[in-house]
Amino acid sequence: MAKSVSRSSLKSESLLGILDDVQIAIDSKILKVKVFTSICKPLNGAIPGSNQAHFLKLWTFPYKYKYGKEYKESSATAYFIKGLRGALRHQVMYHCKERGLEVCHTSDKETDRKGKSLLPNGFHLIGSCTESNECIVHAVFGSKRHTSKIRVSANPIANISQKTFQSKYKLQNVHIATEKRVALSYDGGAIQDFGERYFAGEFEFEIDVSKCSLAELGLLIESAMYMQKLGRGYNAGYAQLEVQSLTLVDRIMTRKPILGDNQEFKIEEQISETPLSQEFLNSIAEWTKYVKKSQESPK
């Protein structure tokens, strides 16, 4: 054996045989949605001691970029995009209502304490359809004690001005800045002002639809096409989305342990994707059939 091998690793020689044939392949069906926003504020809240409302901060990371013939180093911060699943759910709800289907609303109460109605027409209370006939929104998104079928996620966003940047993390480069707003003013001077972070540019999010049926997939595709808003301030002109492209992909992720230095195993990930264009069209056709059938014989 080599001299660099430590005593503890020599003892574990018998254990190394376990990993000879370990290779894991995770198969999943993913719907990719590419979106553009002029200004978007999916904020997490204010940090104590500051007037600004921030995104959910993940981590700072180093990156390299090309400056002439040399490489220079710098750092940036990555943020999490919140509220994607909620925005999709609201879009799906109102899309079903337009087609004449009665589906679950997000609220579990009809009225509040003062008697103000919380449940609009054309919806029923969340989870009330589980015993009789489960609606399609409940089947996809679930409710309390009913797990949902889908998983909505996006790679973290960061603001890097250099176009030739290189980093080992998966990122989406967008423009991030703060908007200063004045709530009260007296004689031209601001009394109470606050800031809100926003981002702008193209970004992509993914919906894991491997558990969904064809009709459910069709519903998600059609409602994602008409997705309009994300984050706060829609009525004031913020948070407007423009959907650019939709692609359905079969993704196979393989994980395999590979022997590295000092008898330690590193786990290598590889991702391969194949487009599913025929299934994309079939699912929309299946969804239109489902709508016609439910309109003819309402539940």
Our CB check for other proteins shows the closer of 107 and 128 to be 107
- Closest C-alpha to 295, from 131, 92, 97, 133: 97
Nearer to other proteins, 161 or 254 (CB): 254
**Judged by CB, which is closer to other proteins: 99, or 232?**
232
Task: Choose between 26 and 177: whose C-beta lies nearer to other proteins.
Answer: 26
List residues near other proteins by CB under 8 A: 8-9, 11-12, 14-19, 22, 24, 26, 44-45, 56-59, 80, 82, 84-86, 90, 105-107, 109, 112, 118, 148, 150-154, 156, 253, 255, 257, 264-267, 269
Least separation, in Å, of the C-beta of 136 and other proteins?
17
Minimal CA–CA distance to 271: which of 248, 249, 251? 251
Token pair belonging to 200: 């702008």
The CA distance from 81 to 34, in Å, is 14
Positions of E strands within 103-240: 103-104, 123-124, 151-154, 157-158, 165-166, 172-173, 175-186, 189-208
3-state secondary structure of 143: strand
Which pairs from 108-114 meet CB under 8 Å and 24+ separation?
Answer: 108/144
Shortest distance, position 153 Cβ to other proteins, whole Å? 3
The distance of closest approach from Cβ of residue 95 to other proteins in the complex, given in angstroms and rounded to an integer, is 17
Nearest distance from residue 144's CB to other proteins, in Å?
A: 12
- Closest contact distance (angstroms) between CB of 51 and other proteins is 17
